[in-house]
Amino acid sequence: MAYHIIGDQDTVLGYRFAGVTGDAVDTEEEAREAFTKAVAGRKPGVLLLTEAVADMLEEEVTAHRLAAAPPYLAVVQDIWGPRGKRRSLQELIDEAVGIRIVRDE
Amino acid sequence: MSRLNVAPTKSNQLILKRNLQIATGGFTLLEQKREILVMELMRLLDRAKLVQAELAVRRQKAYATLRQALAYNGYHHLRNIAGGIHYNHQIKTSTRITAGVRIPTITIQHGEFQSQFGFASTDSLVDQTMVDFLDLLETAGRLAELETSVWLLARELKKTQRRVNALEQIFIPNYKDTLRYIGEALESKELDSFFTMKMVKKKLTQADEEALDEATETPTPDRQPATSS
């Protein structure tokens, strides 16, 4: 598994064209199940999540990010457009780690 | 003011002096590490921002193509086509070490674009979707690597910060205070013993003189009260 995606069926279909295996999920339970399964192996690879899935599994995703273990996460939009405002990487880190990185200029 | 609970002795003073030396040395090192981590984090965050921007551009392009393809061909038709697509993406991870943190580097070998479906009953949009998504995937992989590195560094930075603070605010002042206390205690003890010695010496010389007086001169009744005063 070099790449894997968890998301809604349309987005998964899109990535399917690039040879990415994927789980199409609709509900939170399905998403959690797919995520746990994808993470469990700790195999090196890139795990793509759509924003919807990342929002549903916020706790798990943050925990996995903090562990910084493979598979490495990347959050992508679903093809039907963005879901509101996203928090930036800095804000996410500030929340989870408690370190605010500000460039002093 | 807080000090450790140790007896004010010379050996404790020596031990504490060594501890203080180690703590200050560690403090300097950790401070340097913290600075390196901050610099590295800044660099990675800048790079992540660039990659994010690139990803946004590619994503918009790919998603627009896909939406169009979906509109023209329909979901089920596309799914049938996609079912036959197989790319062999190879992924290799290695680690590089920055400031004592193992940071993964991901190298991904992407499968090259190739037609994997019949020309009949597919249109150019399907081809385009495939090309666009391959591009997108490459960028997404790079972003995942960068973001993971940033998380790792942030975690390490937090740890280092905590250690620096502990040394700066607790350990080093504690050692300093205790050393000062031991120093004062030892000094006053020394003063005490010095004083006692003086007293003893004075008493001894006095006793000597009296003995001398008695030996050399025959005691006269009128001198006796003068020497004893």
Q: Is residue B59 part of a domain?
A: yes
**Segments forming the whole domain that contains residue B155:** 10-87+124-176
pLDDT per residue as tens digits for the range A5-39: 888 888 888 888 777 888 888 888 888 888 888 88
**Which pTM does this prediction carry?**
0.75
**Would you say residue B115 lies in a domain?**
no
Let me know if residue B62 belongs to a domain. yes
Q: Chain A neighbours among B 5-64 (CB < 8 Å)?
A: 38, 41-42, 45, 48, 55, 59, 62-63
Which residue is closest to B113 within chain A, CA to CA?
A18
**Closest residue, chain B, to A14 (C-alpha):** B66
B206 within a domain of the structure (yes/no): no
Total count of domains within chain B? 1
Domains in chain A and their CATH numbers?
3-80 (3.40.50.10580)
In angstroms, what is the C-alpha Rg of chain A?
14
Whether B63 contacts A77, CB under 8 Å? yes
Domain presence at residue B212: no
* Residue B104 belongs to a domain: no
What confidence tens digit (pLDDT) does each residue in B134-143 have?
Answer: 888 888 888 8
Query: The domain that contains B153 carries what CATH number?
Result: 1.10.287.3240
Residues of chain B positioned with their CB less than 8 A from the CB of A68: 148, 151-152, 155
Q: Check pLDDT > 50 for residue B103.
A: yes
Q: Which of B104, B108, B140 is closest, CB to CB, to A74?
A: B140
So what's the pLDDT on residue B198? 93
**Nearest CB to B48 within list A18, A19, A89:** A89
* Contact yes or no for B126 and A17 at CB 8 A: yes
**Which is nearest to B163 in space by CA: B26, B11, B54?**
B26
Instruction: State yes or no: cis peptide before A71, omega within 30 of 0.
Output: yes
A103: contact with B, CB 8 A cutoff: yes
Whether B21 maps to a domain, the answer reads yes
Q: Does the pLDDT at position B91 exceed 90?
A: no
Residue B227 domain-assigned (yes or no): no
Q: Regarding beta strands A46-50 and A72-76, do their DSSP bridges make them parallel or antiparallel, or are they unpaired? A: parallel
Residue B197 banded pLDDT, cuts 50, 70, 90: very high
- What rounded mean pLDDT belongs to chain A? 80
